[in-house]
Amino acid sequence: MVSTPLSATTTVVATEDVLSTTIDDETVILHESSGKYYGLNDVGTFIWNLLEEPRTIEAICEAVTAEYDVEYERCERDVNEMVSELAEKGLVRLDHS
């Protein structure tokens, strides 16, 4: 579990030791240092693509709610959960400043 709670201003970016590819709206991620693969569905792929550059949780949620029919509060919960899981697996870096 991520030790520091995420906030709207937490910045998230993919780490440098991951490789990813997208096939039919799904992404496969390889964490090079662990040798583990992870898969993302189409919404996860949309979010992953946003994380090529540093983005705040708020910016991610704004992009997702603009693209998909989802309420902001639900989106925020789901994005926080996904980002926490990605951080636990070492696939993203978080900046809580």
Q: If you count them, how many residues does the chain have? A: 97
Q: What is the mean pLDDT of residues 87-97?
A: 92
pTM comes to 0.90
Q: Is the dihedral of CA 88, 80, 56, 47 positive or negative?
A: positive
Q: Looking at residue 34, what is its pLDDT?
A: 92
Residue 25: per-residue pLDDT: 82
Mutual angle of helices 57-67 and 72-88, in 10-degree steps: 130
The whole-number average pLDDT for the span 18-30 is 92
As a whole number of angstroms, the distance between CA 13 and CA 92 comes to 5
**Rg of the chain's alpha carbons, rounded to an integer?**
13
Kindly state the percentage of the chain with pLDDT values over 90. Answer: 89
User: In whole angstroms, what is the distance from residue 97 CA to residue 91 CA?
Assistant: 19
